[in-house]
Amino acid sequence: VFTAEPVHDINKVESLRSLVAPAKVSIVVDNRGLEQEIADLSPSRRDLFLKKCRTALQNATMNSNNKNEKEAFLWDDAAVLRNLTWFSDCGEGRLAYNWQAEFRSRHIWHHPALATYQWMMWMDTDVFCTKPWERDPIATAIQNDLVLFFDNYPGGGTRELATRIYDAFHVALCKVSLTTEGQLESVLGTEQDATNDEYCNRARIRSVHGFFHITNLDFYRNPEVIDGIEQLL
């Protein structure tokens, strides 16, 4: 179980362990603390992050009814860092939510807690099974040597990704669709296609819904995939 903050209620942890025994349960904090994660950003990303947070904090202060509060703060980097928590919103949603999105798309593939595993079944904490599975999804993934086994597609989408994907993986991704057999099918393109607004660049790339999926960790640990993800993010 990955969590952004430590779970201090030992009784709840032991109750969970008893519930799923003999399966093993580990509670793993997925970060080194907000301040350290910010410090570890590259200089350009850190400057951009602090700029966005500074603007959000300034706006919140200016909207305050407390005149002294408005005049008290000079939002230098140190002041911004002192006032940030996982629940702060720097204009793009709470930091805690943004962190989990980054963790599950970037850091999880080489996390020490999963180092001895090849397969991962991810379930969000607000996902519940409403009836017993007729077939074991992990067994299905292994038997078919799948890279990604998912429950729902599409789960969302965005535009203008083609050039970023080309820079990361040296191929343009122009379209992704679901076949009648339940497999993802892609249309790839060249560098020229990636910058063509009428073809790839304005295409809406849909994603797998992240609440439940099974992944082959060996694929995502591949150096070429890891490097591509780093560049894409």
Residue pair 49/41 in contact by the 8 Å Cβ criterion = yes
- CA dihedral angle for residue 181, residue 187, residue 188, residue 194, rounded to 10 degrees: -140
CB neighbours of residue 203 within 10 Å = 23
Give dist(CA 206, CA 175) in Å, integer: 8
User: What's the pLDDT at 68?
Assistant: 52
- In the numeric block, which tokens belong to residue 150? 């998912």
Q: Which helix (H) or strand (E) holds 156?
A: strand 156-158
Nearest to 52 by CA among 22, 14, 93: 93
Which of left, alpha, beta for 42 (phi over 0: left; psi -120 to 50: alpha)? beta
Segments of the chain assigned E as strands: 2-3, 28-29, 119-123, 148-150, 156-158, 172-178, 184-189, 205-207, 212-216
Q: What is the pLDDT of residue 67?
A: 53
10 Å Cβ neighbour count for 149? 20
CB 96 within 8 A of CB 108: no
SS3 158: strand
- Nearest-angstrom CA–CA distance, 150 and 121: 10
Which is nearest to 206 in space by CA: 184, 227, 224, 226? 184
CA distance 121 to 108: 12
Beta-bridged to residue 94, according to DSSP, are 89
Tokens 């301040």 -> residue:
35
3-state secondary structure of 138: helix
Q: What is the spatial distance between Cα 213 and Cα 222, in angstroms, rounded to a whole number?
A: 19
Q: Which residues of the chain register pLDDT less than 70?
A: 63-74
